[in-house]
Amino acid sequence: MGTWILRRILWMFPTLWVISLISFGIIQLPPGDYVTSHLEAMQAAGENVKPGDIERLRRLYNLDDPFHIKYLKWSNDLLPLGFVRSPEDGAYFWHENPDKTQTFRWQWPHFKWPNMGWSLEHERPVGQLITERLLLTVALSILTLLFTWALAIPIGIYSAVRQYSVGDYLFTFLGFLGLATPSFLLALVLMYVAQEAWGMDAGGLFSPEFQTAAWSWAKVSDLMAHIWVPMIVLGLGGTAGLIRILRANLLDELRKQYVITARAKGLPRVRLLMKYPVRVAINPIISTIGWLLPGIVSGSVIVAVVMNLPTVGPLLLTSLLSQDMYMAGSMVMLMAALTVVGTLISDILLVIVDPRIRYERKQN
């Protein structure tokens, strides 16, 4: 088990390197760049743009550099280890100057907090922008995931065991309704209900007086009072899908011979259900961790914009619209890293939960 996990972790590094190269290239495929988008916005606002301003901005952000030069600058900011050496060695690395340009400088190798590049739109390191919103994003995503599983697993088991009952039909109807309702529309409805019924502004995660306040128990309580609306909005769509998946898989398992044999030997129904069929039927839910983790970044973009949530998703949207290549590339890279890590976690949990996977691994 330990050797298998170590081998998977080692394979993550070349995988992420290839993903970084591809993603940084894809980000630059659309015509134009940040300067052209910025100038279009200035012209739309009625401002005069001089040709000298265009050249100055392109030099300031090094947008005329070749692809490999821009990639090396960005990848060095992306890594926790700065590739820097002293002048005597004859090697170089990319150093950020006060005027936000990138040039050569010589220093010894050192460890640093990843800046993940420089945001052209916000004029700040990408790492700082993401860090400011990452805590709230992770908190909202974890609560949403727990809410989804707390609803989907019991309802899916009940619908399978009580097939074609009134409860099964009711949950099936609610499941299809949840799948058919757009999340942003549900967000608008819940915001309206919260405002009319309780007089509470359900937009955002904090009341106005706690927006810029330091963390305290009062701010945490205010967060808990606001976070339930986006948690329900983001969780209901995933809940409906997981209920249908778990119900279908559990129905297949309940008809298999080992379940019939266990019942014939007198094994208690609840113990039989939880020990064998549910453990097998829950595999697809565990395997969804691989795409649930990148959903922390990108899955709630529209809902976050509608509800004015201070999460990471809107940063990705604005960076794509403004063609902020370092911000967009870092966000895509973050989602790729979360996908790889989530897939590893899913594989480990599947090995623990399903004995058949352990047996096949030992045989191989």
Q: What pLDDT shows up at residue 157?
A: 92
Q: What pLDDT shows up at residue 358?
A: 62
User: What is the rounded average pLDDT of the residues 317-326?
Assistant: 84
Residues ≥6 apart with Cβ < 8 Å to 87: 106
Six-digit token pair at 342? 């989530």
| Average pLDDT score, the chain | 78
**8 A C-beta contact, residue 21 and residue 71:** yes
In terms of pLDDT, which residue wins out, 200 or 252? 252
Residue 213 DSSP label: P
38: nearest Cα among 121, 142, 118: 121
Q: What pLDDT shows up at residue 55?
A: 76
Residue 118 DSSP label: E
User: What is the rounded average pLDDT of the residues 190-210?
Assistant: 80
Dist. CA 186–CA 230, nearest whole Å: 10
102: nearest Cα among 67, 52, 59: 59
User: What is the rounded average pLDDT of the residues 296-321?
Assistant: 80
Q: What pLDDT shows up at residue 154?
A: 92
Task: Output phi, psi for 94, to 5 deg.
Answer: -95, 125
Q: What pLDDT shows up at residue 238?
A: 75
Q: What pLDDT shows up at residue 42?
A: 75
- Count the neighbouring beta carbons within 10 Å of the beta carbon of residue 44: 8
User: What is the rounded average pLDDT of the residues 330-354?
Assistant: 82
Q: Are strands 93-96 and 102-105 parallel, antiparallel or unpaired?
A: antiparallel
In the block, tokens 């040039």 appear at: 103
User: What is the rounded average pLDDT of the residues 234-251?
Assistant: 85
Report how far apart, in Å, the C-alpha atoms of 101 and of each of 16, 57, 97, 129, 164 are.
26, 11, 6, 19, 66
Q: Domains of the chain, with CATH numbers?
A: 126-363 (1.10.3720.10)
Q: What pLDDT shows up at residue 103?
A: 43
Six-digit token pair at 283? 């595999």
User: What is the rounded average pLDDT of the residues 282-289?
Assistant: 80
In terms of pLDDT, which residue wins out, 358 or 189? 189
CA angle 58, 59, 65 (to 5 degrees): 85
What stretch of H or E contains 81? strand 81-82
Q: What pLDDT shows up at residue 213?
A: 81
pTM for this prediction: 0.74
Residue 93 has pLDDT above 60, yes or no: no
If 0-12 CB within 10 Å is exposed, 13-18 middle and 19+ buried, where does residue 265 land? exposed
Using 50, 70 and 90 to split pLDDT, how confident is the model at 297? Answer: low
In single-letter form, the type of residue at position 247 comes to: R
- pLDDT tens for each residue of 105-160: 444 444 455 667 778 788 788 888 888 888 888 888 888 888 888 888 999 999 99
